[in-house]
Amino acid sequence: MYLDPTNVVDNVQAARFDLPASQPTFPLQACELTNMRSEPLGSSDYYGFMFYVPEGWTDGTVPSGGFWGIATAQFHFQNIWGSPIEFELHSDHMTLALETGACNNHLSSDPGCTWRSNADDPSGPGNLGAQYVVPAPMQEGVWHEVIMYVHWAADTTGAIQVWTRVEGGLSWTQTVNLSGYPTVQWDVTQGCCSSAVADKIGAYRGPSSSPVSVWEDNAVIGPSFASVAATMPVAVGDPVITFGSPGVRPIARTAAPDRARRRWSRARGHHRPGSRLARRAARHRAHHRADGRRSVRDRRGPHRRHTRGRRRGRHAKMTTRGSGRRNHAGR
């Protein structure tokens, strides 16, 4: 993984994840950034994510062994059976893959979870039906913006909603509205549920015939749709949000209530044009220039005041802890 200066979004370098073709002794490849955190039951989050593939791009996987394409984002991973929620990228669409509820872990003879969905599984999409982040035909050569809402629950109060648009679009399209099911996993041999989880972005795939590259950016977590949408290159207002079960509402965060509070891969070199921090920086520069002119006019020598700008913003960067690889067996 490296920051690619030739493929930028909003004047910021994007993360490029490269995977080689499968090796004879190890068919799986993974290049991921992992964020370890605590997510207690009953909490809610909004997630932001952007991805790009060039025109003519293919995932390079071998369908018989890697029907899940390329896992570009995994949420609430606990090394039980995959992740309860995944974004799986294919040549013409992105699937929302789900494995939730009570699960036989990946070391068991019959791994799997009570509730599942994978539109690309040759054996069928599962009991939650086919779900898509970006349905086919997926546009190539453009940045796709994704916002996902999740209410993390082990009962029927669980909810998942997804909206997407192409960068620069003026409206969001809702592609997923699922509720009434668990959104977390737990091992049947250990019971429910641990709050220690990992979120991952990057690229992970099964058997493949050719190398592949995926570009990703703006992976954030925020307390509201608006706070996450504001981190995208073009920010618009809230959509009409409907929740499948009564009482499911995002839990407000005490830190950074009006902006997304964490970032994974986005390495900003400047503030977003028009943002509050950008306006404050402009006022700060104007103050310096005016102060310098007064010093020269009054012949007081080079006594300009230099106030060091605070670098604390409303976004606290998330810690990445190397690359993670799922312990998949027979998926």
- The CATH number assigned to the domain with range 2-269 reads 2.60.120.200
Predicted pLDDT of residue 28: 74
Strands (E), the chain: 2-9, 12-19, 29-38, 44-52, 70-77, 85-89, 94-104, 112-117, 132-134, 143-151, 159-166, 173-179, 185-187, 196-205, 212-222, 262-263, 316-317
**93 pLDDT higher than 80:** yes
Q: What is the DSSP letter of 25?
A: T
Per-residue pLDDT at 80 exceeds 80: yes
What are the beta bridge partners of residue 50? 145, 217
Question: Residue 1: which pLDDT band, with cuts at 50, 70 and 90?
Answer: confident
| Per-residue pLDDT reduced to its tens digit, 33-74 | 888 989 999 999 999 999 999 999 988 876 666 687 899 999
pLDDT at 112: 92
Higher pLDDT, 46 or 307: 46
Is the per-residue pLDDT at 102 higher than 60? yes
Contact present, 132 and 120 (Cβ < 8 Å): no
pLDDT by residue (tens digit) across 146-166? 999 999 999 999 999 999 999
Quote the tokens at residue 165: 């648009």
Domain borders along the chain are: 2-269
Cis geometry, peptide bond prior to residue 113 (ω within 30 degrees of 0): no
The answer to pTM > 0.85 is no
